[in-house]
């Protein structure tokens, strides 16, 4: 998720940001389906729709990283200025909202709310959280410098984002001097690493020098989300016709989706599976997810709204986007509960709940900016 406006405003990147922001909210609205408590008669259908949408929405996080690469590579100016401009604006809202999320279970107890309600908000939470204990909340808060907790799972991305910001000026020095051919060689090596999760799961645990005392194999330095940074930078300057995007991108997306969906269904059908196995085909740094992400990014490049109202709305989303990400996780679970209570057909419950959660989050962040002005950035980013 890129926070800063580019001096030369690029409307199609606002479109990519909207798609990324909305799909990440949708993605979290699938959690109450894929982690549904109990075994109602239609549990199979519930989990099927969770898998259908869950697989479809995997490009959400890669799109955020690609936006960052498209806007910031190569980095201009002094490294110290770059860090000072970006990291504090991410760090302070992250700390504030991490504390709020981790205090939430205790606050519900103070208000006399039943502990089961916490599961409605945070499907991953367990018995420890449902104790509604202040010591438990304080323990989670004390762990913020090290990792996220089970009540603010979406904050995993902020640790990644800060790491990408720290890495960008270093990576940028190579990107600025590299030819397009060299960048393609890097992306080719990165593409090989996208297959490693499957090799490690189905073939062997170790490959290319990895072993019990070494986790950094031959292509380790090409792996991870830095590939999405370079991909966003490279595709920004790649001009394909709409026909070419559809001819190449549509089959690519379909194949990527099929692998993601059927792979996830295969894992969940096993008698037993670990958390790592459950996430295997949903892994963001996997070839199937990249195959879905590239067509979406390229199609967004072709979108050009002439309506000034739509352009202003997209620009406002750019301003409010980080704040929406911070707070939306409070509303995804309750939105799903609401659409179920309203009798919305099961097949469209996830998108309808997503519209509700996204709209409420955007309205709240917009209101905070209207009330606090520029000071809101310390709370909402």
Task: Please tell me the predicted confidence (pLDDT) of residue 1.
Answer: 55
Task: Please tell me the predicted confidence (pLDDT) of residue 42.
Answer: 86
pLDDT along the chain (381 residues), means of 10: 54 95 96 82 90 96 97 90 92 96 93 87 80 91 94 95 95 94 96 93 88 89 94 94 94 98 94 89 96 97 88 91 96 94 95 97 96 90 81
Task: Please tell me the predicted confidence (pLDDT) of residue 6.
Answer: 43
Task: Please tell me the predicted confidence (pLDDT) of residue 8.
Answer: 58
What are the tokens at 120? 């409605």
Cβ atoms < 10 Å from Cβ of 342: 9
Task: Please tell me the predicted confidence (pLDDT) of residue 215.
Answer: 87
Cα–Cα nearest to 374, from 165, 95, 89, 155: 89
């Amino acid at each position: 998720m890129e926070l800063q406006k580019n001096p030369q405003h690029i409307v199609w990147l606002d479109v990519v940001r909207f798609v990324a922001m909305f799909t990440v909210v949708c993605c979290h609205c699938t959690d109450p389906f894929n982690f549904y408590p109990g075994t109602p008669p239609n549990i199979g259908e519930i989990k099927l729709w969770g898998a259908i949408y869950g697989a479809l929405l995997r490009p959400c996080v890669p799109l955020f990283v690609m936006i960052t690469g498209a806007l910031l590579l190569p980095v201009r100016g002094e490294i110290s200025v770059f860090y000072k401009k970006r990291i504090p604006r991410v760090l302070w809202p992250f700390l504030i909202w991490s504390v709020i999320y981790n205090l939430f279970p205790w606050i519900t107890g103070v208000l006399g709310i039943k502990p089961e309600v916490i599961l409605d908000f945070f499907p991953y939470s367990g018995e420890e959280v449902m104790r509604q204990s202040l010591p438990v909340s304080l323990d989670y808060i004390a762990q913020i410098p090290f990792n996220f907790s089970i009540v603010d799972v979406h904050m995993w991305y902020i640790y990644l984002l800060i790491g990408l910001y720290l890495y960008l000026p270093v990576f940028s020095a190579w990107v600025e001097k590299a030819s397009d051919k060299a960048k393609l060689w890097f992306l080719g090596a990165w593409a090989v690493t996208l297959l490693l999760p499957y090799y490690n799961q189905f073939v062997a645990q170790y490959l290319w020098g990895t072993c019990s005392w070494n986790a950094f194999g031959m292509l380790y330095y090409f792996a991870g989300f830095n590939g999405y940074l370079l991909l966003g930078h490279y595709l920004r300057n790649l001009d394909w016709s709409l026909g070419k995007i559809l001819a190449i991108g549509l089959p690519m997306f379909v194949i990527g989706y099929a692998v993601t969906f059927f792979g996830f269904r295969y894992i969940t059908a096993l008698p037993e599976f670990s958390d790592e196995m459950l996430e295997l085909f949903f892994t963001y740094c996997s070839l199937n997810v990249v195959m879905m992400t590239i067509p979406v990014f390229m199609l967004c490049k072709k979108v050009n709204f002439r309506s000034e109202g739509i352009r202003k709305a997209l620009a406002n989303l750019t301003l409010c986007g980080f704040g929406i990400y911070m707070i939306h996780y409070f509303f995804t679970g309750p939105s799903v509960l609401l659409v179920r209570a309203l009798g919305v057909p099961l097949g469209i419950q996830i998108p309808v709940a997503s519209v509700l959660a996204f709209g409420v989050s955007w309205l709240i962040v917009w209101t905070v900016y209207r009330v606090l002005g520029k000071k809101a950035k310390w709370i909402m980013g």
